[in-house]
């Protein structure tokens, strides 16, 4: 049996306010092609389908269109779990339509599907956290743990009403769940685990929202299900193997979602797996549909030159400009006319300028704010923002009047 492991699509995610749907559409098209060309029997998506719990309709439409093509009306099994960004209820709401096509969507840790027979596979058994499927005569047991937030986890454990169980750390609780789910594995099965977790030692990037503030919801490697032949993880956006001992992989996100992800080639894993044997795991890489570039330049002239040189490339760009003076509006305009989709122009002012004396008393509050904003953000504050600022300073004035 051959499956593909992907995760963290984050459909609807933008880059500092710039929509990335166009790139996401390109990825979905390429992914469908890869799946068809490589004779994939099963698609596993390990969570974070969307970027927010309330995704835009366009993102939902893209997801439905894509998974429906992947499932090919019951020809191929598609299994999806929720991640920390997804609303489990909403993600799984499409189940009545999805189930007909052989698409399994599991929102909560205890979610399960229904037995059913499709063209090329059959769901032979389904219960909380475990799905058994027959694909081309091979029996596949999947143990699943959709993103277990602390609350959702306690709900699972709460049902056992055991005080001792409640005292355990997050990782221990996860470990116990996996150990009991592993009891569903039998030697003649293909054994796969699917989850959305932050494993200790995994390398993170800027685009993952922390699973919890303070980062206490970490899972130790020893608490991963060691009997699984492959552990398909979601959450971290850099593709990586997180255990020496186990085949525990993060497929990473399909797109570079923050500028610190520029160094990683994005892809998925294609896994050839049969019972009792070590699987063969091969990465497959996606195109970089619209690269993120960070340009570090000395002086505005160099920045303008870079814009000129790159004007025909479809890229997102960040500029860090070493300068000893404020970058003028006309220079910013010139840059933006040459090169589209500049995300940020950040002047790095030499220390000499920082210590220069500016007589603030000669300027109005509004002038100072405008200068500061332009200086720090690389663009002039918009009308709305100015209105808000004026509101705030006038309110400040009012309060002062009252107290005085
Ligand atoms: Mn994610």
Q: Is residue 229 domain-shared with residue 325, that is, in the same domain?
A: no
Domain with 306, as residue range(s), is 292-403
Residue 250: band (very low, low, confident or very high) from pLDDT cuts 50, 70, 90: very high
Cα of 189 from ligand 1 centre, angstroms? 30
Query: Which of these ranges, 131-145, 226-240, 315-329, 380-394, has the smallest mean pLDDT?
Result: 380-394
Q: Is residue 318 domain-shared with residue 389, that is, in the same domain?
A: yes
Cα of 257 from ligand 1 centre, angstroms? 10
Cα of 198 from ligand 1 centre, angstroms? 10
Q: Is residue 117 domain-shared with residue 95, that is, in the same domain?
A: yes
Q: Is residue 280 domain-shared with residue 303, that is, in the same domain?
A: no
Q: Is the pLDDT of residue 15 over 70?
A: yes
Cα of 375 from ligand 1 centre, angstroms? 33
The pLDDT value given to residue 162: 66
Q: Which of 53, 62, 56, 52 is nearest to 22 (CA)?
A: 62
Q: Residue 300, SS3?
A: helix
Q: Is residue 269 domain-shared with residue 338, that is, in the same domain?
A: no
Residue 23: band (very low, low, confident or very high) from pLDDT cuts 50, 70, 90: very high
Q: Is residue 312 domain-shared with residue 272, that is, in the same domain?
A: no
Q: Is residue 374 domain-shared with residue 252, that is, in the same domain?
A: no
The pLDDT value given to residue 353: 47
Query: Residue 112 CB: number of other CB atoms within 10 A?
Result: 16
Cα of 86 from ligand 1 centre, angstroms? 9
Q: Is residue 204 domain-shared with residue 304, that is, in the same domain?
A: no
The pLDDT value given to residue 215: 58
What DSSP letter does each residue of 141-154 carry, written as one string? EEEEE----HHHHH
Query: Which of these ranges, 74-83, 129-138, 351-360, has the smallest mean pLDDT?
Result: 351-360
The pLDDT value given to residue 403: 32
362 vs 120, which has greater pLDDT? 120
Cα of 234 from ligand 1 centre, angstroms? 7
Cα of 338 from ligand 1 centre, angstroms? 34
Residue 346: band (very low, low, confident or very high) from pLDDT cuts 50, 70, 90: very high
78 vs 369, which has greater pLDDT? 78
> What total of structural domains would you count in the chain?
2
Cα of 350 from ligand 1 centre, angstroms? 37
Residues whose CB is less than 8 angstroms from the CB of residue 93 and which lie 6 or more positions away in sequence, other chains included: none
Cα of 108 from ligand 1 centre, angstroms? 17
Cα of 46 from ligand 1 centre, angstroms? 9
Q: Is residue 251 domain-shared with residue 319, that is, in the same domain?
A: no
The pLDDT value given to residue 308: 97
Q: What is the overall mean pLDDT for the chain? A: 90
Cα of 74 from ligand 1 centre, angstroms? 28
Cα of 146 from ligand 1 centre, angstroms? 13
How is residue 317 annotated by DSSP?
A: E
CATH number for the domain including 208? Answer: 3.60.21.10
CA distance 216 to 233: 18
Cα of 266 from ligand 1 centre, angstroms? 14
Burial class (CB in 10 A: 0-12, 13-18, 19+), 137: exposed
Which helix (H) or strand (E) segment holds residue 19: the answer is strand 18-19
Cα of 204 from ligand 1 centre, angstroms? 10
Cα of 147 from ligand 1 centre, angstroms? 11
Q: Is residue 267 domain-shared with residue 386, that is, in the same domain?
A: no
Cα of 48 from ligand 1 centre, angstroms? 5
Mark which of 265, 285, 305 sits at the end of a domain. Answer: 285
Whole-structure pTM value: 0.84
Query: Which of these ranges, 58-67, 147-156, 164-173, 183-192, has the smallest mean pLDDT?
Result: 164-173
Cα of 382 from ligand 1 centre, angstroms? 32
Q: Could you report the per-residue pLDDT of 273-297, keeping only the tens digit for each? A: 999 999 999 999 999 999 999 999 9
Q: Is the pLDDT of residue 69 over 70?
A: yes
Cα of 81 from ligand 1 centre, angstroms? 12
Q: Residue 62, SS3?
A: helix
Mark which of 226, 253, 285 sits at the end of a domain. Answer: 285
Name the token pair of 159: 């049902």
Residue with tokens 């989850």: 195
Cα of 210 from ligand 1 centre, angstroms? 9
Cα of 274 from ligand 1 centre, angstroms? 29
Q: Is residue 265 domain-shared with residue 299, that is, in the same domain?
A: no
Mark which of 285, 315, 338 sits at the end of a domain. Answer: 285
Q: Is the pLDDT of residue 399 over 60?
A: no
Q: Is residue 356 domain-shared with residue 399, that is, in the same domain?
A: yes
- Provide the residue count of the chain: 404
């Amino acid at each position: 049996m051959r499956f593909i492991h992907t995760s963290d699509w984050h459909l609807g995610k933008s880059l500092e306010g710039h929509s990335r749907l166009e790139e996401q559409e390109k990825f979905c098209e390429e992914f469908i092609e890869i799946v068809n060309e490589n004779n994939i029997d099963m698609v596993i998506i390990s969570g974070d389908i969307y970027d927010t719990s309330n995704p835009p309709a366009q993102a939902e439409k893209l997801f439905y269109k894509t998974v429906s093509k992947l499932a090919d009306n019951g020809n191929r099994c598609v299994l999806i779990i929720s991640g920390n960004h997804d609303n489990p209820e909403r993600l799984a709401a499409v189940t009545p339509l999805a189930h007909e096509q052989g698409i399994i969507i599991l929102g909560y840790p205890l979610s399960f599907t229904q037995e059913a027979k499709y063209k090329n596979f059959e769901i032979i058994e389904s219960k909380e956290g475990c799905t058994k499927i027959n694909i081309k005569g091979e029996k596949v047991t999947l143990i699943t743990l959709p993103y277990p937030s602390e609350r959702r986890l306690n709900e699972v454990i709460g049902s056992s009403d055991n005080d001792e169980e409640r005292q355990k750390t997050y990782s221990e609780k996860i470990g116990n769940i996996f150990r009991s789910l592993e009891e569903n594995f039998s030697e003649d099965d293909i054994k796969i685990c699917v989850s959305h977790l932050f494993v200790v030692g995994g390398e993170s990037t800027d685009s993952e929202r922390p699973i919890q503030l303070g980062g206490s919801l970490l899972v130790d490697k020893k608490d991963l299900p060691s009997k699984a032949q492959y552990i398909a993880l979601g959450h971290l956006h850099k593709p990586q193997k997180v255990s020496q001992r186990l085949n525990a992989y993060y497929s990473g996100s399909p797109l570079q979602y923050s500028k610190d992800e520029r160094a990683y080639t994005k892809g998925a894993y294609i896994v050839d797996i049969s019972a009792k044997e070590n699987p063969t795991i091969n990465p497959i890489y996606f195109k970089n549909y619209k690269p993120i570039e960070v340009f570090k330049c000395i002086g505005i002239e160099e920045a303008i030159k870079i814009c000129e040189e790159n004007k025909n490339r479809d890229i997102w760009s960040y500029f860090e400009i070493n300068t000893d003076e404020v970058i003028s509006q006309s220079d910013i305009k010139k840059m933006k006319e040459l090169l589209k989709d500049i995300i940020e122009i950040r002047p790095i002012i030499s220390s000499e300028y920082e210590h220069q004396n500016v007589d603030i008393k000669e300027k109005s509050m509004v002038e100072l704010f405008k200068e500061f904003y332009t200086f720090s953000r690389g663009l002039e504050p918009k009308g709305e923002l100015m209105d808000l600022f004026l509101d705030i300073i006038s309110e400040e004035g009012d309060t002062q009047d009252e107290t005085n």
